[in-house]
DNA sequence: GATGAATGAGGTTTCATTCAT
DNA sequence: AATGAATGAAACCTCATTCAT
């Protein structure tokens, strides 16, 4: 079973809002959804794992889908947290002299986040293609915001001459697919014993810095 | 409905082996699996779309899962086709002078392949996390073979000084995630009107070449 | 929502006996039972409409059926009120010279009663076929009493030569179905704008008087 | 269990259209719906009584409500059969000299019909207040047609001086409530041993003839 | 090879009722 | 008196699969 404290802290949900049984339901649902996928998970299975009557699930969530969304939606909000810095320009000027420094901070931070939320991350990635509600939320609230913020960052480093002249859309795509590839290899493919974390991260950063340079 | 000829050609299945009803079943299954996912698709839905009685599906496939596998498995084989060249060394020596040429040929080829098989590609990517049988097949027959072949390629260009010294695993990871990111952006995210194919491909190639160079 | 005073007055229930929440429960139950029928009404729906917790209903009524009976039973008692006159013979001699006068008074009185209790009347009529308890109550306490009283009335007017010689059972049946038909047309079928109350009532009375006359 | 032949004949349904199991389902549903009401009847109960798996019901009817409607709707059509005579005027001229003859024929015919379909009649009467679909069908296809035909009949006998001058709506209402009252007393209230059929019918006819006369 | 009726296990959801607070 | 979380039985319905034709 999940160490539950983690979930509530990460999703910054007010722990008090949930009854103990509800917390068990959420924890159980996360584990099974991640393992089998939403459609292949039965509510009776969740109830059993949570040690709860099946009816109890439906006291708290009108439908099975509502349970899924209540779990995944807050996760999406948290994903863009590091980009919701109020004045990202100032941060860029002061905190990160070079693109390399910025990338290193970014990757470390997101890697830590995903590490603490692997299961939620899995569910999000796996269900995004099927759940219209998630897609809408993702496009409206997440993708748009990420894009606006990253465009600023890209232009900032293009002005400084660290990123070659190229449409920022393309830069963002190349950047995101490299990061995603890194995270997916790290958490879903390569077994953790084989993975040399520091070295791989440095190589990924070097690859990005060189690939994007003029 | 799919233009069906395509499927049989691409999967190099002997068209004669299938009854007309069976072909309709396969075509229908591909479309619905891709749209809703395997677990959320019912056999009755497939039967209806195929214009076939429910029982007919089970004449040809013992179970629903067998139907899925019979669709996805040949797809996996085809995916590695360009790497199953008998003597890849010779090809490298003669055909592609530079890494850039090799990458260009490779990406164009795979892009064409995925374009003709988007639906099958979707199903593969979406079901891989859930279907043990697919994972096994993928690891044993696909991933391993790809890895062996690509390692040769990587070492070949490392010797030529076009790729920096780095574990080939890492090179392959960086390479694949860039290509995958390219394909996913191309086929699943960016609307086809907005996508400037030639330019994006060139930028992706430049990014790879520079990122991997010494 | 019902104007609640009406209910308590009509049913001559001691208003003081009920807590405010209980009154809301009764009012809500009447409305929903009348609209959807007892079996298709859920206690949670009643609770929501009453603005009360689900448990509260079961503080006051052991079961859902007890709630129904507590609502409909007093209604039945009230229905026969005008016939529970202690010495109906005296009344007949003095108050109503002719059958016509008697019928007119009777119909006006019952029409007014039903008008003030349409919802309760609906529930009674709709549930009578299904609730054994109601049927028993109805047969023992209502039907029997009505019959005994009406038999006296019928014989009274037969002696006066205003009703033809015929078994009183048949007279009562013809009389009741005419009245019921009148009430049902008035309250359930014909829209109130189209209904010419005075005229229809007179025609119904004429029909009865003539139909029953020698 | 119902004698099944009756149902199919009465509803003039093509017996061949139904599988044996489906016929059992319909017969079982009719009995239980009539006894307990639609809402209080469970599909599992119907399945058990029909000797059929529960799933079988839903192969033939998408929902429980569809089962209900498929049973009651044809019944409504049959109810107005005797009025759907192509040229009702001719029939009136030739066949029935007096109102009394007409009424006698009519009542006997409908009594026979209801007798053969008591259960269906019960279901119809009991569910009409709750099922919007039934109400719509009833108003559009039944009530309107009945009204049009009966108006002709009423005017016919008014011209012959056998019915007093009065809005035909009112005549029809008085007529229908008397007939309904007769049928309900006959089939739902008075036990069959006590009911003197011929006599009661004659009295009802006399009552109507006199009540409606000038 | 093809059908489609039939199945029964299991799916999601509803519901009357209980009980600790 | 009132709450509302919790229950578990049962509701309606879906589904993969079987089988006689």
CA-to-CA distance for B30 and B7, rounded, in angstroms? 10
Integer distance in angstroms from CA A122 to C1' F17?
A: 32
**CA distance to partner chain A, nearest, from residue B118 (Å):** 14
Q: Is the CB of A64 under 7 A from strand E?
A: yes
Q: Which of residues 10-69 of B touch strand E (CB under 7 A)?
A: 19-22, 52-56, 58-60
CB-based contacts of A168-174 (< 8 A; 24+ apart in sequence)? A170/B200, A170/B203, A171/A212, A172/A147, A173/B181, A173/B182, A173/B185, A174/A208, A174/A211, A174/A212, A174/B178, A174/B181, A174/B203, A174/B204, A174/B207
List bases, strand E, within 7 Å of protein CB: 1-20
The answer to which of A5-14, A32-41, D113-122 has the lowest mean pLDDT is: A5-14
Determine the distance from the C-alpha atom of residue A131 to the mean position of all C-alpha atoms in its chain, rounded to a whole number. 17
In the prediction, which pLDDT does B9 show?
Answer: 60
In the prediction, which pLDDT does A6 show?
Answer: 63
| Residue corresponding to tokens 């059993």 | A48
| pLDDT tens track for A46-100 | 999 999 999 999 999 999 999 999 999 988 888 777 666 655 666 666 778 889 9
More confident residue, D88 or B42: B42
pLDDT at B148 over 90: no
Q: How confident is the model at residue A4 (pLDDT cuts 50, 70, 90)?
A: very low
CA-to-CA distance for A87 and A84, rounded, in angstroms? 9
CA-to-CA distance for B106 and B88, rounded, in angstroms? 13
Q: Which of A126, A170, A177 sits opposite B177 (nearest CB)?
A: A177
Give the pLDDT mean for A29-48.
97
CA atoms within a 13 Å half-sphere pointing along the CA-CB vector of C48: 6
Chain D hits for C176, CB-CB cut-off 8 Å, are 181
| pLDDT tens track for A122-158 | 999 999 999 999 998 888 888 888 888 889 889 999 9
Handedness of CA A81, A82, A85, A89 (dihedral sign): negative
Q: Which of A40, A122, A174 sits opposite B207 (nearest CB)?
A: A174
Integer distance in angstroms from CA B48 to C1' E5?
A: 16
Give the pLDDT mean for B108-112.
86
Q: Which of residues 18-47 of C touch strand E (CB under 7 A)?
A: 41-45
Tokens of C17: 């006996």
Contact: C170, D200; criterion CB under 8 Å: yes
CA-to-CA distance for A50 and A58, rounded, in angstroms? 13
DSSP one-letter code for C164: -
Could you give the percent of chain B with pLDDT greater than 90? Answer: 47
Integer distance in angstroms from CA A205 to C1' E4?
A: 61
Q: Which nucleotide is the nearest neighbour of D22, by CA and C1'?
A: E5
Q: Is the CB of A20 under 7 A from strand F?
A: yes
In contact, A38 and A68? CB cutoff 8 Å: yes
In the prediction, which pLDDT does C78 show?
Answer: 81
Whether D186 contacts chain C with CB within 8 A: no
In the prediction, which pLDDT does D87 show?
Answer: 59
Which positions ≥6 away from B209 have C-beta within 8 Å?
B99, B100, B103, B162
In contact, B170 and A206? CB cutoff 8 Å: no
Give the pLDDT mean for C46-67.
96
pLDDT at B13 over 90: no
Give the pLDDT mean for D132-148.
86
Chain B hits for A100, CB-CB cut-off 8 Å, are none
CA-to-CA distance for A198 and C37, rounded, in angstroms? 69
Q: Is the CB of D64 under 7 A from strand F?
A: yes
| pLDDT tens track for C76-105 | 888 777 666 655 666 666 677 889 998 888
More confident residue, A79 or D34: D34
Whether C166 contacts chain D with CB within 8 A: yes
pLDDT at B84 over 50: yes
Nearest-CA residue to the C1' of F18? B55
> Rounded to a whole number, what is the largest CA-CA distance in chain B?
61
Q: Is the CB of C48 under 7 A from strand F?
A: no
Produce one character per residue of A11-48: b if its CB has 16 or more CB atoms within 10 Å, e if not: beeeeeeeeebbbbbbbbbbbbbbebbbbebebeebbe
DSSP per-residue letters across D19-35: -HHHHHHHHHHHHHHHH
Question: Helices (DSSP H) in chain D: which residue ranges?
Answer: 4-10, 20-36, 43-50, 54-60, 64-79, 88-95, 99-116, 118-127, 132-137, 144-159, 168-184, 197-212
In the prediction, which pLDDT does C185 show?
Answer: 85
pLDDT at D68 over 90: yes
Q: How confident is the model at residue B163 (pLDDT cuts 50, 70, 90)?
A: very high
CA-to-CA distance for B174 and A180, rounded, in angstroms? 10
Name all chains with 3 or more CB-CB pairs below 8 Å to chain D.
C
Q: Is the CB of C63 under 7 A from strand E?
A: yes
Chain D hits for C36, CB-CB cut-off 8 Å, are 130
Contact: D181, C174; criterion CB under 8 Å: yes
Q: Name the residue among B171, B191, B200 with its Cα closest to residue A172.
A: B200
CA-to-CA distance for B180 and A63, rounded, in angstroms? 35
In the prediction, which pLDDT does D34 show?
Answer: 96
DSSP one-letter code for A60: H
CA-to-CA distance for C171 and A55, rounded, in angstroms? 56
> 3-state SS of chain C: helix, strand, coil percent to 5?
75, 0, 25
pLDDT at D22 over 50: yes
Integer distance in angstroms from CA C42 to C1' E14?
A: 9
Chain A hits for B134, CB-CB cut-off 8 Å, are none
| Residue corresponding to tokens 């889908």 | A65
Q: How confident is the model at residue D14 (pLDDT cuts 50, 70, 90)?
A: low
In contact, D207 and C212? CB cutoff 8 Å: yes
Q: Which nucleotide is the nearest neighbour of C19, by CA and C1'?
A: F1
Determine the residue among D142, D211, D212 to mutate to test chain C binding: the one whose Cβ has the most chain C Cβ atoms within 10 Å.
D211
More confident residue, B62 or B92: B62
In contact, C193 and C91? CB cutoff 8 Å: no
**Would you give the end-to-end CA distance of chain A in angstroms?**
49
Polymer length of chain D: 214
Q: How confident is the model at residue D105 (pLDDT cuts 50, 70, 90)?
A: confident
Nearest-CA residue to the C1' of F11? D42
Q: Name the residue among B111, B119, B123, B132 with its Cα closest to residue B198.
A: B111
The mean predicted confidence, pLDDT, of chain B is: 86
pLDDT at B67 over 80: yes
C9, exposed or middle or buried, with CB in 10 Å at 0-12, 13-18, 19+?
exposed
Which positions ≥6 away from C178 have C-beta within 8 Å?
C204, C207, C208, C211, D174, D177, D178, D181
Helix and strand tally (H, E) in chain C? Answer: 12, 0
| pLDDT tens track for D69-100 | 999 998 888 877 766 665 566 666 677 888 99
In the prediction, which pLDDT does B89 show?
Answer: 65
In the prediction, which pLDDT does C6 show?
Answer: 62
CA-to-CA distance for D206 and D14, rounded, in angstroms? 40
CA nearest to C212 within chain D: D207
Tokens of C207: 């029909």
List bases, strand F, within 7 Å of protein CB: 1-20
CA-to-CA distance for C205 and C210, rounded, in angstroms? 8
Q: Is the CB of C54 under 7 A from strand E?
A: yes
Contact: A203, B178; criterion CB under 8 Å: no
Give the pLDDT mean for D181-203.
85
Tokens of A83: 């980009």
Beta strands in A105-181 (DSSP E): none
Q: What are phi and psi of D104, to 5 degrees?
A: -60, -45
pLDDT at A5 over 60: no
CA-to-CA distance for D26 and D4, rounded, in angstroms? 10
Chain C hits for D162, CB-CB cut-off 8 Å, are none
The mean predicted confidence, pLDDT, of chain A is: 87
DSSP one-letter code for B189: I
Determine the residue among A35, A207, A208 to mutate to test chain B binding: the one whose Cβ has the most chain B Cβ atoms within 10 Å.
A207
Give the pLDDT mean for C17-39.
94
Whether D211 contacts chain C with CB within 8 A: yes
Nearest-CA residue to the C1' of F2? C56
CA-to-CA distance for D174 and A5, rounded, in angstroms? 75
Q: Is the CB of B48 under 7 A from strand F?
A: no
CA-to-CA distance for D15 and B150, rounded, in angstroms? 70
Distances (CA, A) of D146 to D81, D89, D143: 10, 15, 5
pLDDT at B16 over 90: no
Give the pLDDT mean for C29-56.
96
């Amino acid at each position: 079973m999940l160490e539950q404290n983690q979930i509530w802290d990460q999703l910054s949900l007010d722990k008090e809002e949930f009854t103990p049984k509800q917390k068990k339901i959420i924890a159980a649902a996360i584990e099974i959804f991640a393992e089998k996928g939403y459609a292949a998970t039965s509510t009776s299975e969740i109830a059993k794992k949570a040690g709860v009557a099946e009816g109890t699930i439906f006291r708290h969530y009108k439908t099975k889908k509502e349970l899924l969304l209540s779990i995944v939606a807050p996760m999406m909000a948290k994903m863009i947290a590091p980009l919701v810095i109020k004045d990202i320009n100032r941060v860029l000027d002061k905190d990160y002299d070079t693109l390399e420094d910025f990338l290193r901070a970014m990757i470390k931070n997101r890697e830590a986040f995903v590490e603490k939320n692997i299961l939620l991350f899995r569910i999000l990635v796996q269900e995004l293609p099927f759940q219209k509600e998630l897609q809408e939320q993702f496009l409206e609230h997440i993708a748009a915001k990420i894009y606006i913020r990253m465009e600023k960052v890209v232009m900032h480093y293009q002005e400084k001459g660290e990123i070659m002249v190229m449409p920022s859309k393309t830069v963002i795509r190349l950047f995101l697919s490299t990061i995603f590839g890194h995270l997916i290899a790290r958490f879903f493919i390569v077994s953790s014993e084989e993975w040399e974390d520091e070295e791989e991260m440095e190589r990924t950063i070097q690859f990005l810095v060189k690939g994007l340079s003029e």
